[in-house]
Amino acid sequence: MIINLDMQSDIPIYTQLMNQIIEGIAHGDLQPGEALPSVRGLASDIGVNLHTVNKAYTMLKQEGFIQIHRQKGVVIQPDGMPEITPEYELKQYNQLKPIIAEAICRGMSEEQMLDITEQIYREISTPRKENDQ
């Protein structure tokens, strides 16, 4: 899996890293039980502070996407992904609401918003072909 970070973005690096790993899982690039690089290794590979990677891994563990073992290292959650909870739904609602409000202010129709959402969903949920990676 290739990780692309935008060092000029307003989005914190650890958040970008978390999002990239979650997208990799959703896309099928990262499989349950698959090992991820160590904190030091990933930090070195992508050129960021190891505390940034550690924060991303810690949050991914708290959310149930990865496991951290002393012997095995960091692995994608082998027991399945976290389920939808009321807390998760509220979090998504609160994150999407300002995006949708801005889209409405800019004149985007409900149909356009739904089209974009469906396009993104299909793009992420469709496994990549080997030469697309």
Taking each helix axis as running N to C, give the angle between helix 50-63 and helix 39-46, from 0 to 180 degrees, rounded to the nearest 10: 120
Domain-located, residue 22 = yes
Is the domain of 109 the same as that of 72? Answer: no
- Give 104's contacts (C-beta < 8 A, 6+ positions apart): none
- The number of distinct structural domains making up the chain is 2
What CA–CA distance (Å, rounded) separates 94 from 104? 16
Report in angstroms the alpha-carbon separations of 72 from 22, 77, 132: 20, 12, 29
CATH number for the domain that contains residue 72 = 1.10.10.10
Domain-located, residue 6 = no
Encoded tokens for 83: 């389920």
Domain boundary among 31, 55, 76: 76
**pLDDT mean for each 10 residues of the chain (133 residues):** 90 96 94 94 95 97 93 91 93 95 97 96 83 55
What range defines the domain where residue 20 resides? 13-76
Domain-located, residue 2 = no
pLDDT at 132: 57
Report in angstroms the alpha-carbon separations of 88 from 37, 74, 127: 27, 24, 24
What is the pTM assigned to this prediction? 0.86
